[in-house]
A and B are shown apart, each in its own frame.
Chain A
Amino acid sequence: MEKILEVENLNVSFNTYAGEVKAVRGVSFELSRGETLAFVGESGCGKTVTAKSILRLLKPPFAVIKPESKIVCNGKDVLKMNKKELCEFRGDEVGMIFQDPMTSLNPTMTVGKQIMESLMIHKKLDKKAAREEAIKMLKLVNIPSPEKRIDNYPHEMSGGMRQRVMIAIALACNPNVLIADEPTTALDVTIQAQIMDLMMELKTEMNTAIILVTHDLGVVANFADRIQVMYAGEVVERGTTKEIFNESKHPYTWALLRSVPRLGSESKEELYALGGTPPDLLLPLNHCPFADRCEYCMPICKERKPPETVLSDTHKVSCWLMHEKAPKVESFYDRRDK
């Protein structure tokens, strides 16, 4: 499959009053046309910062993308683009859906205008054509009576509908890549299900490559092709969805999978809980970032960064447990089912 996005050695830091916070440390990944890649991890792992960096949405001097980073989309070097090229790139080649539909839509513009804005800038459509196209988009995202709704303001719509509008805006110009930053976190469970179903439909219809940023493994299970698990600004494990759910090899991935109680489990039994908290990103970390909280921590883990072990074409892990000299341990996942 053709590669549409390549990110190499992405390093992003924030300059705060307390020092330099290294939010993203050497993240690399690829995305092929039409495929869905999920970034999974908890707050502070760097997944949102990575996603925003692709569109260069973080502003210097507060946020800095380090020079050793490389982002190439559809053959173009994103980090070297000037303002004009960047404007054309955003919305047209890459679209983005944000987490909170309350604050991501302009409250003083009708939703129709917000969709048309993108169309008129990138596709150079005139007002009439843009309005027709906008109605088509609203229909596509299953908003009832689109001809009437197009003139609604965001506050006249519910959370679920606003999120659909966001999807419509992002997909209006048929971009090659769609970045969805926690699109369902702020929504109720039944609405969440509706939105994920919608995204599934659109994915197949428009063949858009999708980057889904989320902390919810359940949402990912039936939606993503590949998953990369992030912790403290680094990718600790990556693989196809099947490999991550059934054959994961990193203790953090096990902890994530184990933390969610399954509906079939015994109630009030102790949930597997990771002790401690993620490391302070102010500090330089020259060893495995998960060492302090890992049940299987070894002395080497606190001294050096683990190399990325290749288990298959798609499955790669960064963990010292993969080293030939390390003891063989049981995955929590297997342990649980006994």
Chain B
Amino acid sequence: MMVNHDVTDRMENIPDEKFTIIGIDKDAEAPTRPRVGYWRDAWRRLKENKVAFAALIILLILVFFILFGPAISGYEFEQIDADAINKGPSAEHWFGTDDLGRDLFARVWQAGRVSIIIGILGAVIASVVGSIYGGIAAYFGGAVDDIMMRIVEVLLSIPYLIIVILISVITDSKSLGTMLVALTLTGWCGIARLVRGQMLQLKSQEYVLAANALGVAPIKIILKHMIPNTIGMIIVAITFDIPGYIFSEAFLSYVGLGIQPPSTSWGALASAAQQNFMFYPYQLMFPALMIALTMLSFTLLGDGLRDALDPKLRK
């Protein structure tokens, strides 16, 4: 049934030396596939994910404008021009002007700085605090873990809005710092749970047991084995949290509890624009568009990162 036709024809012509036994080639055991480190492989997988990669590009573009937009526009974001009140988008004012004649293009990007800073800083602070908390709970286990997790559950059940209001009333200030404190005060709980779960699972992994058996000190095990294997997950969690913080800030500023003039954020811009919405919709549209675009991009990027950083999905 399975006969190699072309070979049978040439069977007789094979020289005799081809049939002397030479045995096994000892040098053949060197590794052949090229080395691929964890991060490089993750980057490659991220690039292959078209949607996530596009989201990354969009974010980079946004960051570029946030940094250089006000300079490009040629206007100061506070610059008032009485002759150019409420003008629509034009060649001089690409995004138009607001009711004080301020160039919206410059204002949108200036506002972006605040929103993004809050978004990223908030997510990072919450994640760092949450990771350490979750790590400790997981490492010690038992009663320590029980108590720590009950605290988390209580905190999670408090709506963050109440805390923000309380804090801003108590401290009687509405600065960037206050907002950050208020938002992160309960924001770290989600990550604490995630990290605890992951570390608990890692505790019973055989390579952690092996390190135990070798006599490696507990703190070293946490630093060298458990945290590096959790970082991928933490990065993804941060990326998913950022849109949440941006939106929270926007919402708070919108209802007046957030950024106060003269600083501005996207939420504050939207709030100011809502009164003129019927006549000058562009004033609301641009900040809202930026909020939506940023949130969407971070979420899609987070999705892609999760797939790229998960070693198990490596095919």
Contacts and interface: CB of A to CB of B under 8 A. Distances in A.
Partners in one complex: yes
Nearest to B34: A18
Contacts of A198: none
B220 interface: no
Nearest to A275: B24
B140 interface: no
Given A275-B24, A307-B8, A325-B14, A28 B1 contact: yes
Interface in B4-38: 4, 7-8, 11, 14, 16-25, 28-29, 32-33
A292 B1 contact: no
A325 B19 CA distance: 7
B3 interface: yes
Interface string A97-127: 0000000000000000000000000000000
A299 interface: yes
A300 B14 contact: yes
Interface in A4-29: 8-9, 16-18, 26, 28
A280 interface: yes
B33 A18 contact: yes
A320 B19 contact: yes
* Interface residues on chain A, size class: 35 or more
A299 B22 contact: yes
Interface string A306-330: 1110000000101010010111010
B19 A297 contact: no
A221 interface: no
A280 B33 CA distance: 9
A304 B8 CA distance: 12
Is the contact region of chain A dominated by helix, strand, or loop, or is it mixed?
Answer: loop
A13 to B, nearest CB: 14
A44 to B, nearest CB: 15
Nearest to B26: A275
B18 A299 contact: yes
Contact of B22 (A9, A297, A303, A306): A297
Contacts of B22: 297-299
A298 B14 CA distance: 12
B312 interface: no
Given A26-B2, A300-B18, A326-B19, A305 B7 contact: yes
Contact of B23 (A17, A235, A280, A297): A297
B7 A307 contact: yes
Interface residues of B, number: 27
Nearest to A300: B18
A298 B18 contact: yes
A295 B29 contact: no
A28 B23 contact: no
Given A16-B315, A276-B28, A307 B19 contact: no
B29 A308 contact: no
Contacts of B314: 17
Interface string B114-143: 000000000000000000000000000000
A18 B23 CA distance: 31
Given A18-B33, A26-B2, A300 B7 contact: no
A288 to B, nearest CB: 12
Nearest to B41: A17
Nearest to B20: A298
A60 to B, nearest CB: 15
Interface string B250-281: 00000000000000000000000000000000
Given A9-B2, A298-B18, A308-B2, 14 more contacts: A8-B1, A17-B45, A17-B314, A28-B2, A294-B23, A294-B24, A296-B23, A298-B20, A298-B21, A300-B18, A303-B18, A304-B7, A307-B3, A323-B14
23 contacts: A17-B44, A17-B45, A28-B2, A30-B1, A275-B24, A275-B29, A280-B33, A292-B24, A294-B23, A295-B23, A296-B23, A297-B23, A299-B22, A300-B14, A300-B18, A300-B19, A304-B7, A307-B11, A308-B2, A308-B3, A323-B11, A325-B16, A325-B19
Which 3 pairs of residues, A with B, have the shortest CB-CB distance? A300-B18, A307-B4, A325-B19
